[in-house]
Amino acid sequence: MQTPWIIGNWKMNGRIDRNIALINAFKTFRLPEKVHIGIASSYPYIHQLYTELQETSIWVGAEDCSQFYDDGAYTGEVSANMLADCGAKFVIIGHSERRTYFSENNDLLKIKLQNALSAGLLPIFCVGETLQERESGQEEKVIASQLAILRDFADASMIVAYEPVWAIGTGKVAEPEQIQAMHQFMNEEILSITGKRDKIPLLYGGSVNADNASIILKTSCVDGALVGGASLKADVFMRIITAATE
């Protein structure tokens, strides 16, 4: 296993005062040296997190970036360069909620990946199947299709996160055998695409919490976790981080 990654995805949550309280709680914990830790927030709070966390080892990231790279007349858009300028070090791309609510497809995600890399951000590229796709035995076909865009990024450093859509925010978690099987499949698929599996950590996401983190993180081919709602609770998030050191 590589040095584990624990990434918190706050999604559309946060207020300035709440963020300060959560950050101050994080600062009371002794962060382990051998775990990469990151928090992705909504755009308005990225610079706040960067300012408050710059004395810690916690990376700050974004939950998405624009398909447009250069400055211009794109009202409402936030470019990867802007995110880097505000202190972000990584960006989540292709989360199932973006795919579902905003109809993001491989062509668009390929552009976003390139924008993130060009801006010096580390992309966390998300893949995952729906419950219907899994129940019909199509999960590997779906994941292979989503991973196919990595052919254009064989030499790039990035992270891939497997988040089964049916386990995100539902309280349902894939069984360890399901997680291991899919991560092993992804491992082989990425190796065949890029030839460089060692450069691409594989994370699991989907209702990760303090109670199941240890089992998930001990599963073969799992290099860390992408944590949703549990990352909004300091004590729970720190228990997940601690589980990554076991």
Q: Which residues are catalytic?
A: 95, 163
Three-state SS at 75:
coil
Length of the chain: 246
Instruction: Report the C-alpha gap between 90 and 118 in whole angstroms.
Output: 12
Q: Are 52 and 20 in contact (CB under 8 A)?
A: yes
Instruction: Name which of 149, 122, 21 is nearest 62 in CA terms.
Output: 122
**For residue 182, which of 138, 150, 244 has the smallest C-alpha distance?**
138
Q: Where are the alpha helices (DSSP H) in the chain?
A: 16-27, 46-53, 80-85, 96-102, 106-118, 131-135, 139-147, 176-194, 213-217, 234-243
**Nearest CA-CA partner of 121 in 162, 77, 69:** 69
